[in-house]
Amino acid sequence: MEKSHPEPYRIEIIDTTFRDGQQSPLLFDTGKYRFSLEEKKLLLAGLIELGVTHFEFFSPVVGKAEEQDVRELIAYAQTLTSRELHCLAHCRCNLEDIQRALEVGCNGLNLYLGVSPLAQQHNAQKSLEESVALAREVIRATRQAHPDLYIRFSAEDAFRTPLEDIFSLYDAVYPYVNTLGMPDTVGIAEPEDVVAVVTQLQARYPDARLECHFHNDRGLALANVNAAVRAGVRYVDASIWGLAERSGIPSVTGVLFNLSKRYPEIAAQYNLSQCYPLNVLMASILGTLVPYTEPVSLTNRTHTAGVHQKAVLSEKRVYEAHSLHDFGVDKNQLLLGPLSGWNLIYYYLKEVENLAIDKDQAKRLTQEFKAHTHQIGRGKRPEELLLELAAAQGIPRLSLPEEGPTVRLENLD
């Protein structure tokens, strides 16, 4: 059963672009390796403009460069908005790590510890009992020293850890934390698993908020977010483009786009029109295109098949079920190519190239165009081929008046 929430209910995005995002293989593929401070400032400003108020950073122990960047980003963020910002350090259960994070200006902690069978044997190399004792000691001491500090605690690899072991760990820290996490660190969960875990965590820890962190190894991260939020999770980890380890996590804009379908009040919490500009900003920094799998993209409004193009020219809703206008995508693309039909060819030559062409000519020219599409490639664009064929048929270009209307009238009749 879906959990009902008292109003007002906020779904908070925890952006982890500056932590998990920098662990993405894409930074290596594009030769970036790490974002510069100036690039981080641009991305941070874009996220704040979008309405994000929770940011996860590396622990300063990662290195001097990251430590300095976190200091400067926290100071910079405070100049951009009067809203309360949560600058969270991703820390091990280690008092020295925690102290370093607080010294650079973080006002919250995202603590984690793995107690899965694999972690006990190969990573933390501690027994469950030892891990429980460590977590209790560190978190209790931190809470006593900092009564108002925001603390989230997560059992790493939660969906490969027996739930009774997670209960043992969370029972020990529950009195001292604000939020409990449920990270699917290796991306094995399915939505049904998520609902089951959320339901049991809520029943056992009613005073703690829940946070989800889903990896996309199976391509289910966004579906798992939807399931988690419907079940009552309040905090959602995401990053720009979903950048993170391996295949990544859900994208900030993909999460907002999907959740807004069920929770329209998100539009009052976030400035959704900044979604696409944020994706384009990341593309400019990485020197590549917005991923074709990103819902909030121009690619998601691009049509190449002739049947699709004909329909979209008449009524775009035929093949565009979800409006992206409110998310900053205010146009679509019809790409001229080997699959285009006469409708687009007629439209392109008449409205873009100003040729004096009628529909019958367009239909005949389309057949000739399709007979020569093998010529299209890196050496010849489809527009170039089409204009050559039109010129060979003697189709003239219209002469335009010296002064025309300021608004183009696209009338195909």
**Residues 222 and 359 occupy one common structural domain:** no
**Residues 76 and 212 occupy one common structural domain:** yes
Task: Please say whether the dihedral angle defined by the alpha carbons of residues 91, 93, 94 and 100, taken in this order, is positive or negative.
Answer: positive
pLDDT for the residue 403: 56
- DSSP symbols for 181-225: EEEETTS---HHHHHHHHHHHHHH-TTSEEEEEE--TTS-HHHHH
Environment class of residue 405 by beta-carbon count within 10 Å: exposed (0-12), middle (13-18) or buried (19+)?
A: exposed
- DSSP symbols for 18-73: TTGGGG-HHHHHTT-SS--HHHHHHHHHHHHHHT--EEEEE-GGG-HHHHHHHHHH
Is position 297 within any domain?
no
More confident call, 86 vs 3? 86
Query: Do residues 338 and 330 touch, judged by C-beta distance below 8 A?
Result: no
Is position 319 within any domain?
no
Last residue of a domain, one of 229, 250, 271: 250
Model confidence over 93-152: pLDDT tens digits?
999 999 999 999 999 999 999 888 887 777 666 889 999 999 999 999 999 999 999 999
**Is residue 3 predicted with pLDDT exceeding 50?**
no
Last residue of a domain, one of 207, 234, 250: 250
Which range marks the domain in which residue 348 is found?
Answer: 342-392
Is position 37 within any domain?
yes
**Residues 357 and 212 occupy one common structural domain:** no
Last residue of a domain, one of 206, 226, 250: 250
**Is residue 404 predicted with pLDDT exceeding 70?**
no
Model confidence over 21-43: pLDDT tens digits?
999 999 999 999 999 999 999 99
Count the Cβ atoms, other than its own, within 10 Å of residue 391.
12
Is position 284 within any domain?
no
**Residues 31 and 157 occupy one common structural domain:** yes
Is position 274 within any domain?
no
Distance between CA atoms of 335 and 51, rounded to whole angstroms?
34
Q: Select from 56, 127, 41, 121 the least CA-distant residue to 86.
A: 56
Model confidence over 309-361: pLDDT tens digits?
888 888 888 877 888 889 898 888 888 889 989 988 998 899 889 999 999 99
**Residues 226 and 104 occupy one common structural domain:** yes
Look at residue 349 and give its three-state secondary structure. Answer: helix
Is position 401 within any domain?
no
Distance between CA atoms of 376 and 333, rounded to whole angstroms?
19
Task: Please say whether the dihedral angle defined by the alpha carbons of residues 222, 224, 230 and 232, taken in this order, is positive or negative.
Answer: negative
What is the number of domains present in the chain?
A: 2
Is position 156 within any domain?
yes
The residues pairing with 238 across neighbouring beta strands, listed in sequence order, are 15
